[in-house]
Amino acid sequence: MKPRSLPYRWELVAWFWLAFLLNQADRQIFNVVLPLVKSDLRLSDVQAGLVASVFTASLAVMIPVAGYAGDVYSRKRIIVCSLLGWSLSTLLTGFSPGLLYLIVVRSVATGVGEAFYAPSAFALIGEYHVETRAQAMAVHQTSLYVGVVLSGLLAGYLGDRFGWRSAFWTFGFVGIVVAGVMNRRLRGSSPGLSPAAERPPAPLVLRTILGRPTALLLALALGGMVFVNIGYLTWMPTYLHERFHLSLANAGFSSMFHHHLLAFFGVMLGGRLSDQFARTRPRFRLELQGAGLLLAAPFLYLMGSTSELAPTYFALGAFGFFRGFYDSNIYASLFEVIEPRFHASASGLMTAFAFVVGSLAPVALGAVKQAVGLSLGLSSLSLVYLAAAASMFIAVFLFFQDDFLRRVGGSECSVSMAK
């Protein structure tokens, strides 16, 4: 009896899972080996934060372009070229002689390469998965957690054993190989969209997205979440290394493992719950996200305020679990109020705004670290999560119903025009 092959819609998720793992691992390497980079290249805290901030700003600038490209050109080619581009830049980062090279190759080139992945990937997942949309995106999201934990462990080990440059060479080479394999496995087209629907004019895209208040509030909430997470990812390994005197490998692993292990369970639970209840109550996706942000905020405060290692790990885990509720529906919630032919563009614009906000976090926390210490900076991130939760609930109670109905009407109109 011939074994059942994996349905292509889930094979697609599997390949994107691997690509996104490398995306997040490559992004986290710099944070894990940051003390070594600072020492070797003689960087100040603010200069180190600047590298991370310019990287995030580069993502933010290019993601809207990447989103529109994903609604116009081959998403397969965009995803493969994106993976190849950021992997090559990661490899080249290992040859860095100083700050300017880091900014050009690490911050700008790697950031631009990564920018083109997410809008096309999330749009393709959304097209191949309808009834299982949040579950598929939740599975995809777990690769973020595995990626940052893997990079925390492996990059820390490589940095301690062979020097910080070896971490960039290793992950960059692996990404180049995976890009070649993915180019052979991915299909060139996606279901459900006619050629005309694949090329929406840019003014129509902007009017549609900016005319949905729910989408704007979702972007505001995502901006707060990304600000917190980028700040946490950038400085938490350094915080554990300096405050509790952990080795780089231990600090890199511990800062990521407890948080993302619990986030894994949170995102899987959130994806299953939202797909189940959103069938009859579409706003449930947003309600679950808001609850996750609200419940995570106290543990963010505890993360930076406790002076003991065990409570810090507990706070990291609880923060991760409730963050998973939010992560499971980031784009599934957006797609409830945006027509399918605009999914890549809408994902790109929302993500771009989030990364503009998030780009301020590394340098801001670097400045706080120099002025009053990192503990206060990390604890104050709880206020940002509370503001993001407020944005979610405002969207739920004031705007979601109208925007959802407009999306349903717009989708039916698009289908009629395509026919």
Does the residue 1 lie in any domain?
no
Lowest mean pLDDT among 31-40, 61-70, 88-97, 199-208: 199-208
Tell me which residue has tokens 């979440």: 225
pLDDT at 200: 63
Does the residue 316 lie in any domain?
yes
Provide the token pair at 90.
């990661």
pLDDT in tens, 319-355: 999 999 999 899 889 989 988 778 878 888 888 888 7
Does the residue 2 lie in any domain?
no
Q: Which has more pLDDT, 203 or 268?
A: 268
**Mean pLDDT across the stretch 43-59?**
80
Tell me which residue has tokens 């116009």: 72
User: Which residues neighbour 372 within 8 Å (Cβ) at sequence distance 6 or greater?
Assistant: none
User: Which residues neighbour 350 within 8 Å (Cβ) at sequence distance 6 or greater?
Assistant: 215, 218, 219, 222, 334
Q: Check if the beta carbon of residue 137 is closer than 8 Å to that of residue 122.
A: yes
pLDDT at 77: 87
Q: Which has more pLDDT, 308 or 389?
A: 389
Does the residue 333 lie in any domain?
yes
Does the residue 193 lie in any domain?
no
Most confident of 201-210, 261-270, 344-353, 382-391: 382-391
Does the residue 179 lie in any domain?
yes
pLDDT at 192: 43
Lowest mean pLDDT among 124-128, 371-375, 407-411: 407-411
Q: How would residue 295 be classed by pLDDT, with cut points 50, 70 and 90?
A: very high
Most confident of 205-209, 222-226, 236-240: 222-226
Range of the domain at 232: 10-187+198-418
pLDDT at 5: 67
Lowest mean pLDDT among 74-83, 84-93, 197-206, 406-415: 406-415
**Could you give the CA distance from residue 357 to residue 355 in angstroms, rounded to a whole number?**
5
**Could you give the CA distance from residue 399 to residue 218 in angstroms, rounded to a whole number?**
11
Mean of per-residue pLDDT scores for the chain: 84
**Residue 190 DSSP SS3:** coil
Residue 316 has pLDDT above 50, yes or no: yes
DSSP one-letter code for 197 = T
**Mean pLDDT across the stretch 392-410?**
89
Does the residue 348 lie in any domain?
yes
pLDDT at 322: 96
**Residue 253 DSSP SS3:** helix
Q: Which has more pLDDT, 290 or 70?
A: 290
Angle between helices 34-41 and 164-185 (to 10 degrees): 120
pLDDT at 417: 32
Q: What is the DSSP string of 283-320?
A: THHHHHHHHHHHHHHHHHHHHHH--SHHHHHHHHHHHH
Q: How many domains does the chain have?
A: 1
**Mean pLDDT across the stretch 253-259?**
83
Going by C-alpha positions, the residue among 356, 380, 354 that lies closest to residue 367 is 380
User: Which residues neighbour 97 within 8 Å (Cβ) at sequence distance 6 or greater?
Assistant: 41
**Could you give the CA distance from residue 322 to residue 311 in angstroms, rounded to a whole number?**
17
pLDDT at 128: 79
Going by C-alpha positions, the residue among 29, 354, 7 that lies closest to residue 175 is 29
pTM, whole model, 2 decimals? 0.74
Does the residue 5 lie in any domain?
no
| CA 390 distance to own-chain centroid | 21
The percentage of residues in the chain with a pLDDT greater than 70, rounded to a whole number, is 93
Q: Which has more pLDDT, 150 or 13?
A: 13
pLDDT at 66: 84
192: left (phi over 0), alpha (psi -120 to 50) or beta: left
pLDDT in tens, 93-148: 889 888 888 888 888 888 888 888 888 888 888 777 777 777 888 888 888 778 87
User: Which residues neighbour 88 within 8 Å (Cβ) at sequence distance 6 or greater?
Assistant: 113, 172, 176
Q: Which has more pLDDT, 52 or 182?
A: 182
**Residue 189 DSSP SS3:** coil
pLDDT in tens, 215-231: 999 999 999 999 998 88
CATH code of the domain in which 363 resides: 1.20.1250.20
Residue 396 has pLDDT above 90, yes or no: yes
Tell me which residue has tokens 């979610």: 392
